[in-house]
Amino acid sequence: MSCQKFCVALLHWEFIYVITAFNLAYPITPWKFKLSCMPPNTTYDFLLPAGISKNTSNLSGHYEAVVETKLNSSGTYLSNLSSKTTFHCCFWSEEDKNCSVHADNIEGKAFVSTVNSLVFQQIGANWNIQCWMKEDLKLFICYMESLFKSPFKNYDLKVHLLYLLLEVLEESPLLPQKSSFQIVQCNCSVHECCECHVPVPTVKINYTLLMYLKITSGGVIFHSPPMSVQPINVVKPDPPLGLCMKITDTGNLKISWSSPTLVPFQLQYQVKYSENSTKNMRKADEIVSATSLLVDSVLPGSSYEFQVRSKRLDGPGIWSDWSTPLTFTTQDVIYFPPKILTTVGSNVSFHCIYKNENKIVSSKKIVWWMNLAEKIPQSQYDVVGDHVSKVTFPNLNATKPRGKFTYDAVYCCNEHECHHRYAELYVIDVNINISCETDGYLTKMTCRWSPSAIQSLVGSTLQLRYHRSSLYCSDVPSIHPISEPKDCHLQRDGFYECLFQPIFLLSGYTMWIRINHSLGSLDSPPTCVIPDSVVKPLPPSSVKAEITVKIGLLKISWEKPVFPENNLQFQIRYGLSGKEVQWKVFEVYDAKLKSASFPVPDLCAVYAVQVRCKRLDGLGYWSNWSTPAYTVVTDIKVPIRGPEFWRITNEDNTKKERNVTLLWKPLMKNDSLCSVRRYVVKHHTSLNGTWSEDVGNHTKFTFLWTEQAHSVTVLAINSIGASSANFNLTFSWPMSKVNIVQSLSAYPLNSSCVILSWMLSPSDYNLMYFILEWKILHEDNEIKWLRISSSVKKYYVHDHFIPIEKYQFSLYPIFMEGVGKPKIIDNFTQDDEKHQHDAGLYVIVPIIISSSILLLGTLLISHQRMKKLFWEDVPNPKNCSWAQGLNFQKRMDIL
Amino acid sequence: MRCGPLCRFLWLWPYLSYIEAVPIRKVQDDTKTLIKTIVTRINDISHTQSVSSKQRVTGLDFIPGLLPVLSLSKMDQTLAIYQQILTSLPSRNVIQISNDLENLRDLLHLLASSKSCPLPQARALETLESLGGVLEASLYSTEVVALSRLQGSLQDMLRQLDLSPGC
């Protein structure tokens, strides 16, 4: 036992010694290498034939044969070893079969000897080892598997990996000590395969990993020589993922895959594929640096299988495992491209290869159909090769959706036979109008566009992109390669709205809509907008409206908005204020003008006024209308005239004094311009001269007529003054007897209109006008009157006339000298009476007729009832014994 | 030296291409209108209106003052400084004015190229290196004085533009 301990201590010392010389550490290769071990007491001399240097690496085949002969019973040899025996081990590989053994010489010094690995294969224990860095750059893995038919396999196999991560592999013989090594136990399976995991921080991936293996099996300990590696040099990527195959637009088969993103270097890829078709079978193996590969001459009805693996492109590395195989079978008819998304007006082409009953159809026999309904003219065909036919669609129109199908189906047919597969053609109208508007403060521009034109393209997303040029727009806007996206928000009206704020007023914003779809992306025609050219100014401010006093014009004044600084034109509109204003619009092109006046028909009405503006050079938009301003009704001028008036007198002709009550109708606004503050009655008599009486707002005034003639005038007064033209009425005793109205007739037209006509006799007096007075006969409460021009001989009186009432009509001739004698009639004229009778007839006759019908009906009912009453006494033959056998319907002689 | 005319032509090319498309009269009008717009914008910023013109503010010498005679290049240089100052100000009001100044400078370049004036790219002033410190200490003063002086300078430029300024 003490000997064994000594041996172990010696071994450790030896190991440390070896470590100090770790520049001799075996450099781990990216490929597999081997670890071979043999017992310590074996002298190398017997392994080496005389005359061959210990350090010689050139071993001849003769030498190998000798070794084979000498050591053909290694298994027996190993089984005889005692436990805790420490073996001498070395690394070698298929590329370098020299095995460097670290052992003691006779003097007890460590030495390194190079031996042919074949020796170890025969007499020692052997392991295959491969080490690599995982793609995540965090875990270093060493995998080892036993090669020898181990006599120890019945024992527990324990493998430990001792490692040390060094920034620089130093050549100093002082470092490191054994204690500085870290140890990990490897996971071993029953199949004598072990996997050792060494965590390596990603940042230390360029460090040197110094390691050795300690393998314990059946009491025998194998110590590997030190080995070293930079983990970055043995990175093994994960197999490529996301393998995908498709036929390209040019008819090639494109295989693509995704590259792992974790590795810090470029990768190369190895692709192996096989094609299996009825025509031929081919296999290929290609190395590419891109993540895709094109395979030409794809055939219809063939199957393709692909696998890909990856490895570091520049520098050492380990191939990843092969990816899962991907199989792709082409259809009997191949369209390339299988789908096209394009814009209205463009030209597109489809190609096709058609395989029918295991035979590829000649391209000359191929015909094309659209939607299985319309044969495409042969002039649009092209023969690209023996088997490839091409059809071109020039100047395309937008696809009209047919139900849920939003594409045109393009069929490649073999004369009269079409395969059910088809190519899809999506033609989209991308003419999207983008309209922009700059606000009145010149700080933001809002652009709007509607996606309605391209709603048929399901699954597409829209994005407004723009490019800003420093100044102005070019004549023909074009899509700039450098552009920015703009966020737009869908509004309730279906439009998208995009906001630019702040803006460059004079820069050209070239904008277009990009339609992104799985089939590709389309751009709408670009449009260029200069924010300064699309300004919608703020409406003019301080808008005021008034009817000018004494002049009588509608005067409108305003202030231009602060922005823009350009000259502006204005639009003014006004109308009578009300629910529905009938606007009159006027243009003002003088930018400096701040007010305008317009004649209006009604000076006393309230007018609503609004103003808006726009740049004088026509660029931009009209502003909104300003908030309406309203005129205030005030007195513009003196009343045009005084009120029309009439009088009521007590009819006592015997008295010399009479009370006269003047009546007048309040002046309308059009006559009063625009209000009446009070009325004044002006009197004139020969004795008392002229005097006035203020009546206030009353429309009735009574005075005492005492003199022979008494003239009165009623004046209307407003804030400007008294009415200029007024009516006069002279009450004169002599004139009240002048009778010039010979006859007066009244003809009722209906209940609301009566025609009056009269005849006049010649007179020397100055007839001014007539006053027609009417009332219900014998009722003095409601006297109505109106003024009629002197030239009129017939007049339509509109009133509510009650048919059963009698009316009195009085026509007064009004002379300049005084009121004449009236002509009075108490009833309508006789013709009218007849009409009235007729009207009565119209009422009575229907009453008589309806009474007759009622009477007749009553008689009939009475007759029926009587009949029933009398026949109650007639016997029923069924119930009455004496009446049985009698036929009451048969005439009896007795009766 | 051989490169001189060619370089000059190449430098003027982008502007000459504009000149072909845009009448110079429009450029002049737009320049004046834009100056008026900026002046009005400054007027609309309420706190600039209350500043007394009688009081002189010291320590802000890097902000250009009024210049009696302005050439196009001097105008451009002055505007470049103002643009640099305004860009440094955090106030939202001045971002739009800064954009306007950029447009205005582009217009001046167009005007200069129409007169075959080489208008070199205005270089950033070293004095503005200390702007950060000044802004931190006296943001309000800087904004008010910068806008006030800019307004005065713009009004000067407006007058000069009527007199057809030299290169």
Name which of B22, B100, B110 is nearest A505 (Cβ-Cβ). B100
The residue in chain A having the minimum alpha-carbon distance to the alpha carbon of residue B31 is: A506
Model pLDDT, residue B102: 95
pLDDT tier, A653 (very low <50, low <70, confident <90, very high otherwise): low
A471 to B40: CB separation less than 8 angstroms, yes or no: no
Given A475, A503, A532, which is nearest B99 (Cβ)? Answer: A503
Pairing assessment for the beta strands A520-523 and A267-276 based on DSSP bridges: unpaired
**CATH code assigned to B22-163:** 1.20.1250.10
A471 touches chain B (CB under 8 A): yes
Buried-state track B129-149, b at ≥16 Cβ within 10 A, e below 16 = eebeebbeeeeebbbbbbbbb
Count other C-beta atoms under 10 Å from residue A724's C-beta.
12
Q: How far does B25 lie from chain A, in Å, by closest CA?
A: 14
With contacts defined as CB-CB under 8 Å, which chain B residues touch A507? Answer: 103
DSSP A764: S
What pLDDT does A568 receive? Answer: 96
> Token pair for residue A767?
């007839």
Q: Tell me, what's the pLDDT at A828?
A: 82
- Among A353-362, A599-608, A786-795, the range scoring the smallest mean pLDDT is A353-362
* pLDDT tens-place string over residues A689-732: 999 999 999 999 999 988 889 999 999 999 999 998 999 999 99
Tokens of A595: 């007010």
A478 — pLDDT class (breaks 50, 70, 90):
very high
Report which of A584, A578, A618, A577 is spatially closest to residue A599, judged by C-alpha positions. A584
CB-CB under 8 Å, B33 with A507? no
Q: A502: which chain B residues are within 8 Å (Cβ-Cβ)?
A: 95-96, 99
Contacts of A789 (CB under 8 A, 6+ apart): A769, A770
Range from A212-221, A645-654, A828-837, B26-35 carrying the lowest mean pLDDT = A828-837
Domain edges within chain B? 22-163
Write the residue in A471, A507, A563 that is nearest to B40 by C-beta: A563
Substitution target from B37, B97, B104 for chain A, most A beta carbons within 10 A: B37
Please tell me the distance in Å from B152's CA to the nearest CA on chain A.
18
Q: What is the pLDDT of residues A243-270, one digit of tens each?
A: 988 888 777 888 899 877 778 888 999 9
Task: Return the percentage of chain A with pLDDT > 70, whole number.
Answer: 81
At A130, the pLDDT band (50, 70, 90 cuts) reads: confident
Q: How near does any CA of chain A get to the CA of B41, in Å?
A: 9
What does the pLDDT read at residue A385?
83
**Residue A55 banded pLDDT, cuts 50, 70, 90:** very low
In this predicted structure, what is the pLDDT of residue A221? 81
Instruction: Kindly state the tokens that stand for A852.
Output: 């007759």
Cβ neighbours of A504 in B, within 8 Å:
99-100, 102-103
Q: Count the neighbouring beta carbons within 10 Å of the beta carbon of residue A738.
A: 18
The alpha-carbon gap from A443 to the nearest alpha carbon of chain B, in Å, equals 7
- Partner A, chain B 98-117, Cβ-Cβ below 8 Å: 99-100, 102-103, 106-107, 110
Pull the structure tokens for residue B27: 């450029």
Order across the sheet with A807-815: list the strands: A784-789, A767-776, A807-815, A823-825
Question: So what's the pLDDT on residue A50?
Answer: 36
Per-chain mean pLDDT for chain A: 82
Per-residue pLDDT tens over the stretch A540-590 = 999 999 999 989 999 999 999 999 999 999 999 999 999 899 999 999 999
CB contact under 8 A, B22 and A532: no
Beta carbon pairs, A and B, within 8 Å? 50
A10 vs A560: CA distance, rounded Å:
106
pLDDT at B127: 55
Give the pLDDT band (50/70/90) at residue A513: very high
Whether residue A18 is predicted with pLDDT greater than 50 in this model: the reply is no
What was the pLDDT predicted at A725? 92
**Could you say which DSSP state residue A722 is in?**
B
Cβ distance B18 to A472 less than 8 Å, yes or no, reads yes
Are A716 and A639 a contacting pair, CB within 8 Å? yes
A440 lies within 8 A of chain B by CB: no
Q: A711 near A728, Cβ under 8 Å?
A: yes
pTM: 0.64
pLDDT at A72: 37
Pick from A136, A108, A123: nearest CA to A67? A123
Does the interface predicted TM-score (ipTM) exceed 0.90?
A: no
Examine the pLDDT at A842 and tell me if it is beyond 50: yes
Interface of B with A in 14-53 (CB under 8 A): 18, 21-22, 30, 33-34, 36-37, 40-41, 44
